[in-house]
Every structure is written in structure tokens, then in C-alpha cells.
Amino acid sequence: MLTRIDHIGIACLDLDTTVEFYRATYGFEVFHTEVNEEQGVREAMLRINGTSDGGASYIQLLQPVRPDSTVAKWLEKNGEGVHHIAFGTEDVDGDAADIRKKGVRVLYEAPRRGSMGSRITFLHPKDCHGVLTELVTSAAVESPEH
């Protein structure tokens, strides 16, 4: 089922300032950046390490690009900080279906496009002890894109 912690999503008000903090403090470098219009965020993926299943673990920094995005609303209510945890899986469709059968609400009927071409879905935080949980099937990533 789940193979690793894919990433920890952190909501921030200023992506560039937050990236610089993680670079200067921990030595993490940006592996990938993109704007996800569907999610309404500008994001930076900071790669922490690789894993035996070909995936990796990241810190995902998320800055809203529009006030009606989920992350913008979350920031307004909670301020900057940990937004979600994402687990890697080889089969987001199958694992989401299995988890749904166990009574956990899956937020998307079908997985959507996520960072770096991945396929994602989210689990309702009220069913996961207050933690917004993402399931991720990574796309093959051969080299960093900035």
C-alpha cells in the first residue's frame, strides 16, 4: 500500500522568503517549482532524499496565487505552517478505493494532477484525526526542473 512519506506540505505567505529560510537553515535546495492553477498555488519542492522505490521525500512549500484557493483560506484561518502530509503509493486509484471502503472520505472522485506530473487525491482530515492526508503516485522524474 503506502511506501513512504512523499512530502510534507507547508503553507506560506511568501514562497521566495520561505525557500530562502529552508536553504539557509537546512541546506535544502529547490528541486522543482510550478504554478498549479487548479489548486491555486505556486509551489516549490525541496528534495530531502531518494527512496528504494524510485520516489523521494520532499518538503512542499505552497503559496496561494488567488484568494479563493484552499491554501489561501487555510492560511487565513491558521497562519503559516504544516498544511498536509502526503504518502507515496504505487497505485493511488486502488489505495484510495480501499481506504474509501474503510469509511474514510476521499475528497476527489478520481485522482487529479499534482506536482511534477504526479496523480493525487486527498483524505478528509476529520476522518484522519485532524490531518489532511494526500495520496501520491509519482511520475518518473529524471532531472530537476526549475
- Return the SS3 of 23: helix
> Which is the catalytic residue, given 32, 39, 43, 63?
43
> Which is the catalytic residue, given 32, 39, 63, 134?
134
Note if 60 is an active site residue. yes
C-beta separation of 122 from 133 below 8 A: yes
> Which is the catalytic residue, given 32, 39, 60, 63?
60
Kindly give, in sequence order, each residue whose CB lies less than 8 Å from that of residue 70, ignoring residues fewer than 6 positions away.
39, 40
> Which is the catalytic residue, given 7, 39, 63, 83?
7
> Which is the catalytic residue, given 32, 39, 83, 84?
84
Note if 84 is an active site residue. yes
Query: Which run of H or E residues covers position 17?
Result: helix 15-26
Note if 7 is an active site residue. yes
CA distance 68 to 70: 7
- Return the SS3 of 42: strand
User: Which residues have a catalytic role annotated?
Assistant: 7, 43, 60, 84, 134
